[in-house]
Every structure is written in C-alpha cells, then in structure tokens.
Amino acid sequence: MATSQRDNIRDRAHGFCEYCRLPQSGTSLPHEIDHIRAKKHHGTMTLQNTRWACAYCNNAKGPNASGYDAVTGRLVRLFHPRRDRWNNHFAWRGPRIIGKTPVARATIDVLNINDLERLEHRRMLIELGELPTSRE
C-alpha cells in the first residue's frame, strides 16, 4: 500500500482506532489498516473498504463481518465506520464502551473491546488525559 493512502486512512481516523478509540500514542503496538470486508472475502484495498484499527481490535476481528448480539441473540453485521456514526452506536461509561445497538454489542463482543486488560489500559489513559471519551 502506498504511504499516502496509509496516511489518508490514519488521518481520516485522527490517529484513533475506529472501533475502541484507542489513540496510537496510547500503545506501543502500531495501529493497522483493517479491511471492512476482508481480503479473503474479496474485499478491496480502497478508502471505502478500510479503517484504522489498533492491533487488539484488528487481531480480534480477523475476517469476521458479523457477530451475535447478546441481547437479541440475532446475528448482525459489525460496526462500519464509513456508514455508521460511532456515537449513534456506542457510548462511554468510564473506560467501558457500551453498545447502544445490536451492531455495537456484537462488535464489542467479537472484538473483546471490554476485556479486563483493555478496560484497565483505557482507565489509565483516561486518568492521564490521553483518551478523550467525548470524542465523536
């Protein structure tokens, strides 16, 4: 991938993971380009099919495009930052990210967004002022 396209993807996300909002400055692991529709499912390397993701979210997501909502038990698609607004689906409760919709709840589950280690990491970043929980 051309450096300029990678820079565009990162800049569009303002350097934050488009799933859990972890800033690149808050981790030693580099953020990565995630394919919304995985390459193995014929996803393309275009700006519309990519998002900026922390290593934790990207590794947990893998090629998944859907997950089960724990409330309804239904299989639903995962969060899509090109079509969805983060604040319409998610909310902050301290370091915990709350799913307001089936899409968000499935995304949180599949990506292990509220894993205890990740909660502690976000709690520390919030205390240091490095994780703005009001960011859209």
- Whether residue 63 lies inside any domain: the answer is yes
Q: Is the pLDDT score of 2 beyond 70?
A: no
- Whether residue 133 lies inside any domain: the answer is no
CA 61/CA 36 separation, integer angstroms: 10
The CA-to-CA distance between both ends of the chain, in Å, stands at 27
CA 112/CA 55 separation, integer angstroms: 12
Q: Return the sign of the alpha-carbon dihedral for residues 9, 130, 54, 102.
A: negative
Q: Which domain holds residue 34?
A: 3-127
pLDDT of residue 41: 83
- Whether residue 99 lies inside any domain: the answer is yes
- Whether residue 76 lies inside any domain: the answer is yes
Using one digit for the tens of pLDDT, what is the confidence trace for 90-130?
999 999 999 999 999 999 999 999 999 999 999 999 999 99
CB 76 within 8 A of CB 67: yes
- Whether residue 47 lies inside any domain: the answer is yes
Summary mean pLDDT of the chain: 92
- Whether residue 104 lies inside any domain: the answer is yes
Look at the chain and report how many structural domains it folds into: 1
Using one digit for the tens of pLDDT, what is the confidence trace for 41-100?
887 888 888 999 999 999 999 999 999 999 999 999 999 999 999 999 999 999 999 999
- Whether residue 134 lies inside any domain: the answer is no
- Whether residue 30 lies inside any domain: the answer is yes
